[in-house]
Amino acid sequence: MIHAQKPFWPYLLAAPMALSFSAWSQSTAAHDVDFTVDEAAMIRIVDANASPAGMMNFHIQAPAIPGQAFPGVAAQTAYMQFTSVKGASPDNVRQVDVDLIGGSLPSGVQLTVSPTLFGTGTVGSAAPITFSANNGTGTLISGIQSAYTGEGPGDGVLLQYALNFATQNLDAASSGMITLRYTISNS
Amino acid sequence: MICWEQGGRLGALLLVLSWSASAQISVINGLAHFHPCGSRGHGEILVHNSLDTSVTVLLEVEYMGGSPKISIPSEWVLDAGERGAIPYQWIETDSSSQRARIGVYPLYTSPVTRFGGWAVQTQLRYVVSLYRGCLSPSPENEVRAEWDSTLTWQMVGPHFWSAQVQAYGDLGEAIEAPFNLFLAPFGTSVSQPVPPGTAYVVARDSRGHQVGCKRP
């Protein structure tokens, strides 16, 4: 009886080829790459030194000579710094609103917040808001998409605060606390 | 809290803007979430505390009519540098259209009181809009578009609709990149500027529904 013996050489050839295929498959293997982008909304208000804004004092001083009206006070500034990465609709456009939520301004005294936009990307468009006894809300910036303002000194949306008044409307007994709330939301 | 002080400074008024911007939090998973009906009835708001101290985050629900239909904690403490996932749950997960706005802001300390002036405190707040409901099965019947100086879209039916809007010129050429449109069934309208040279626009959703509108 003759037993046909399997030839051995094919295995010898196959072994290095298998090693080769193995090496080839290593170099072309598909890797799942999972990446996520934070759909971020970040906002802060800082002073000219990029430090969290502290006190902003408007001192309405008496005139030097009797009979004169109270002189105006110089406007002051702060910076709104933000980072925004939009997502799919409905979170594809954002806006910043400001509301006077605590206290009130006496009749005849107005506080105007005027924004000047600076930043990279779609920072939107800005409009001033005048707070008074009759108005306590407004949209400061609209149309924000993916953008950032920078985080260093002088970076950000310049906010100019101007106090307007007439002497006859002032009352030194007017004192209290006013809260301005900045809200960022989707439009 | 509003604290009024007695008296004032004769001859002078002092308006003090007391900033309370030191508590630094941010929202990092978007300011609007839409949950189509049939999907899960819960989600989360991711908040990051970038300070080196812990922060208490307050959450305030603004219901847009109707009874409360969402469950969410009112407070959440974040450790220094922590990213926290604040969970919320729609209580009713039927096909009705619902929405809520969640105000997210840090707990801040009381401002310094000053005699003889106004103290004005600044607060930073994020608002996250949450929507739940079904997408319109027939936007051609439920979506209204009106031309003015802008193009105004409105959902007059009881559903939501999400689409991409493309503007075209007289020769049918696409003008600029398409823009996103999201309509909610609560009477709110969405106005969009129209690129110069636009003759008509077509809004298409992911299911192939289209709504076209020709410029008058």
pTM of the entire predicted model: 0.81
**41-60 of B, contacting A, C-beta below 8 A:** 46
Give the closest-approach CA distance of B103 to chain A in angstroms: 9
H helices of chain A, in order, are 9-28
Which tokens hold the place of A144?
Answer: 């924000």
Predicted confidence band at A105 (pLDDT cuts at 50, 70, 90)?
confident
Tell me, what's the pLDDT at B23? 56
Which residues is B165 bridged to in the sheet? B179, B203
Tell me, what's the pLDDT at A22? 43
Rounded distance, CA B24 to CA A46, Å? 11
Residue of A nearest to B51 (CA): A52
A145, A175, A182, A186, best to mutate vs chain B, most B CBs in 10 Å:
A175
CATH number attached to the domain at B15-133: 2.60.40.10
| Residue pairs spanning A and B at CB distance below 8 A | 184
Domain at A41-49+73-165+179-186: CATH architecture: Sandwich (2.60)
Determine contact: B3 vs chain A, CB below 8 A: yes
Q: Of all residues in chain A, what percent carry a pLDDT higher than 90?
A: 44
Tell me, what's the pLDDT at B92? 82
A2-11, A15-24, B192-201 — most confident range: B192-201
- Residues in chain B where the model's pLDDT stays below 50: 1-21, 111, 113, 115-116
- A chain contacts of residue B27, beta-carbon cutoff 8 Å: 40-42
Rounded distance, CA B153 to CA B202, Å? 12
Give the closest-approach CA distance of B140 to chain A in angstroms: 20
More confident residue, A121 or B51: A121
Predicted confidence band at A19 (pLDDT cuts at 50, 70, 90)?
very low
Predicted confidence band at A79 (pLDDT cuts at 50, 70, 90)?
very high
Tell me, what's the pLDDT at B10? 34
Whether B86 contacts B44, CB under 8 Å = yes
Among B186, B189, B190, CA closest to B63: B186
Of A78, A91, A103, the CB nearest to B30: A91
**Segments of chain B assigned to CATH 2.60.40.10:** 15-133, 139-214
Of B10, B46, B125, the CB nearest to A181: B125
Tell me, what's the pLDDT at A120? 97
The reply to whether residue A180 touches residue B123, judged by beta carbons under 8 angstroms, is yes
Above 60 in pLDDT, residue A78? yes
Tell me, what's the pLDDT at B58? 95
User: Mean pLDDT, to the nearest integer, of A133-146?
Assistant: 94
Tell me, what's the pLDDT at A4? 40
Tell me, what's the pLDDT at B45? 96
Phi, psi of A155 (to 5 degrees): -85, 150
The reply to whether residue A182 touches residue B17, judged by beta carbons under 8 angstroms, is no
Give CA separation, A175 vs A5, A98, B109, B120, in Å.
108, 21, 20, 10
CATH superfamily, region B139-214: Immunoglobulins (2.60.40.10)
- A chain contacts of residue B9, beta-carbon cutoff 8 Å: 172
